[in-house]
Structure 1
Amino acid sequence: MNHLKTFVLLAALTALFMGLGYLIGGTTGMLIALVFAGGMNLFSYWNADKIVLRMYRAVPVDESHPEPLIRNYVADIVQMSADAGLPRPQIAIIPTEQPNAFATGRNPENAAVCATEGLLRALTREEIRGVMAHELAHVKNRDTLTMTVTATVAGAISALANFGLFFGGGGDRDRPGGMIGTIAMALLAPMAAALVQMAISRGREYEADRVGAEIAGDPQALASALQKIEGWSKRIENPTAEHNPASAQLFIINPLSGQGADNLFSTHPNTANRVKALMELAGRMGGRRPTLTATPAAPRAPSTGVPTTPRGPWG
């Protein structure tokens, strides 16, 4: 079923890509876009995860890291992966102060889970476990292929739309709508791509919350983490995500600041609704319902063991 969803999604994004090519260059532009989209889809299937990891300058870490905070982070992911019946994923850290995390990879055998430096500093160990269990749930549910490929292809659609906006004018009679059609498609294509992303992301986040809470055995910790991450994501900018808004859907909480149109269509469900669902799950699991603060705790002081200018195998 996930492979079918991925196929349908890629077909929709390819159609958007071809439509934009048609308005920019007429029939020739559509054919060029079709060939390019086919090659991009194939390339994205095998390499989208590497593209995303390189984009965010992700640095791999393991149990040999000198910082105890990092060793605990790795050990918890390894243990939860085994408990969930998953192969051990690649484990990485992203050099940004905004607390957040994501998973990527075309299947569980080629998955990577990443937390930001800010996440490791801002949350308790139990909350970090809850967040990373959510990311492992995406791996277990095989969401990562669809999410990663969507981020890559939707980013290409936005780039082509911008190209059409600035260079699509002229008097070519083979281009329907002329400059007006080009401008319309250049404005509407990114919005349509965002709607596709929104449609596939919200349900996946709720399901990953549920499965992740079961993997970690602590819905309350994940609920608390979501509140803290949302609070800090509005105060601390993630520059890479701001420059590549199509990748925002990968993260557990929307990393965009919301200062511009990039945040017009949110790919994430309302955090309060996610917290409510998790607390109801905690009640069914027999757990105590702690009071969750709406204001996130201040991040802990930076740890000298967390790399600040990382260089890893992805870039």
Structure 2
Amino acid sequence: MTERLRSWIHANLFSSRLNGFLTLVMLALLALTLPPLLRWAFLDAVYAGADRSVCGAGACWAFIDARFDQFFYGRYAPSERWRINLAALVLALFAAGAMWPRNPRRTECVILLVTLCPLIAGVLLVGGVFGLKLVPTDQWGGLTLNVVLTYATTAIALPLGVLLALGRRSRLPVVRWLSIGFIEIWRGVPLLTVLFMATVMLPMFLPDGLTLDRLVRAILGLSLFVAAYMAEVVRAGLQGISKGQYEAAAGLGLGYWRAHRLIILPQAFRLIVPGIVNTVIDLFKDTTLVSIIGLFDILGIVGQSTKDPAWLGLGREGYVFAAFVFFVCCFSLSLYSQSLERKIARSGGH
């Protein structure tokens, strides 16, 4: 074990003079920064209390404890928060079925994940039917809002991105140029502009008497924006498929759509798993921008909470907590992506 450890240290930390120098510099920086950071975050920290009067020289995690439910549920009524928990459980079960590699019904689970699951979660969260109390979307917030925006946008943007990628490679000039125009326009517009257009300008083009909920408008804007990036990711996967696969599909007598559904797209998706996960991670982080249009995600709730006179001036703890939550979520997605890549590599891409 000792010899193996020495070998690892030499290969990863001191493989060259430059790497050895950088390793020593990083160790020195850690020695300077870690002790005061640990002292602030843990040793001198306060973990419970009614207001900021309990805070001392260290971190005041009492602020996080007091606002914990609000950071995750927003202004959703406490008596109705079981619906969020149940919706999260439904999503986790559908996602587990879709991600389990030995599931013989995996394809069906993926389809249900983007069709039936949103319907069940939407009924639970919105209510107004089956005896559930109606909860307006302006009461949604916190991490729940980030997850809802990410999931709903991905469920819409990924299929739309596939169609756009196929359209960009189409032999029909009209379809090809329309797809190219859509992709390049949306990729060339800042996301903030898209959100403002969806919130402010879209209602101007709707018929009189027809209104769309602000959350729905944000999801539509995000979906169109992300679909353009998904299209380029899918197109990269399609370009990685050899011409022989298309010829083999034609030799089997498969038409355009059957060939892509059964042969081309399954192989392409094996190649673009990292790209899709990276796009979803970027989307999850970009959902914090919705606070600009009056929707308060976890970051927006933190900003609001720091203005409370009882907890004034504790933004540092709030933003550290928000950063930790985002890190855990994004790092978990990244690890799942890496595990998929390893499984695909072990199976030889089949």
**TM-score calculated relative to the size of structure 2:** 0.27
Instruction: Report which of the two has the higher share of helix.
Output: 2
Instruction: Report which of the two has the higher share of strand.
Output: 1
User: Structure with the greater relative contact order (CA < 8 A, sep ≥ 6): 1 or 2?
Assistant: 1
Greater C-alpha radius of gyration: 2
